[in-house]
Structure 1
């Protein structure tokens, strides 16, 4: 099998189908997953551990293959940050972390799964790491909505957007110090992404901000708690 990952190849489409089925099953059996608090916490922590172990193994692999570098290996990408917050949320259950996972996590991870910036194909470990961690972010966000009963709010979407922009100066500084491209703030990914349709640098960054805000609003509209009328 070709070792180079190709977007929308049979392997990629299979991953998208698996994600779709997983989301459908989570929604279908959401009531069954409403466990006793102790069992619920145990399940959440097990998933947190698997995500953490997978990411630690990824960094070990980077080090062993001389791929680890300050310019691209720090957890400063949107999905890397979302993964850290997802693990903390699953381990602690801290509701202050839910908004970030639901808005930034789901929006960023879904975009990454559909248009992956990935150089390793199935069955390489990096392939499994990429799709397992990104799927874990999406499923955790949906789990807290459908199973834990968290209702996304408009204020939560705005707060997440402000939080991301508050982090950007740090990302920009790190990019300058280590010649990095975290969050694609200096150039677009080489393997193609939605950024290819957003114009040249630096204008695509403004479009990226607008797109992120619109995705947050869409997530809020889809999953917000609706008032029901009874006659």
Structure 2
């Protein structure tokens, strides 16, 4: 089996199997390391900048390598390969957040990025690719390191989330979804799974058939954002804003 091949000729991915659980363990350990060493890192500006830009290089490299992989196997198509899925666009906002440090980018990446990445890591649509295939590493690392980037900004750079930011970011997410819906019509795509559900098991299965699940997901997203803020308040003790 070729590690970089397009066809899945190796092990078949198993939900909550060893290779799946390994990602959660790795993610937790990295986030804990960032939190525990946050004060030390923030005290050395050159080290802090180096770590932050290392995350940028990793995220950009993961996204670029995926398009290279599709092009190499002549599978790139405007129908499904544009970086329009929420995981792709929040990877981009994570990179911009790390480079420019804008509060609005941080807030959107916190809510939309961490929320979608967490759900995707729990129920991955990975096409059966498992360790040690390239797609296994790309899929899980590109989602996990969006979460890592947000944890880094909170722990090291001391960025904060307020309850007032919940609703505006929910509106931004809906505005983006409306734009993507139009793009789907133009290119016959299914970005953000707005035209049909993912082929494998996913949270979309809980919310009824198309198009009803789209409206249910709007409410679920708002509730998820509020829950995420509540978890943030419990984990990051700060003066209420």
TM-score, length-scaled by structure 2 = 0.88
- Structure 1 match to 2:183: 174
Cα separation, 2, equivalents of 1:197 and 1:169: 22
TM-aligned CA deviation for residue 38 of structure 1: 3.7
- Structure 2 match to 1:212: 221
Task: Report if the CA contact (8 A) 1:100-1:160 is conserved.
Answer: yes
TM-aligned CA deviation for residue 115 of structure 1: 0.7
Does residue 80 of structure 2 align to residue 68 of structure 1?
no
3-state SS in 1 of match to 2:195: coil
Q: Which runs of 4+ in 1 moved over 4 A?
A: none
- Structure 1 match to 2:168: 159
- Structure 1 match to 2:239: 227
Cα separation, 2, equivalents of 1:56 and 1:71: 18
Cα separation, 1, equivalents of 2:43 and 2:85: 33
- Structure 2 match to 1:115: 123
TM-aligned CA deviation for residue 123 of structure 1: 0.8
**Structure 2: runs of 5 or more not aligned:** 1-8
Q: Deviations over 1:183-226 (max 9, x none)?
A: 11111111111111111111111221112111111121122454
Distance 1:40 1:154, change over 3 A: same
Distance 1:157 1:150, change over 3 A: same
Task: Report if the CA contact (8 A) 1:101-1:140 is conserved.
Answer: no
Distance 1:38 1:14, change over 3 A: closer
TM-aligned CA deviation for residue 41 of structure 1: 2.2
Does residue 14 of structure 2 align to residue 14 of structure 1?
no
Cα separation, 1, equivalents of 2:196 and 2:125: 13
TM-aligned CA deviation for residue 2 of structure 1: 4.0
**Structure 1: runs of 5 or more not aligned:** none
Cα separation, 2, equivalents of 1:38 and 1:22: 20
The two structures, once aligned, show a CA RMSD in angstroms of 1.7
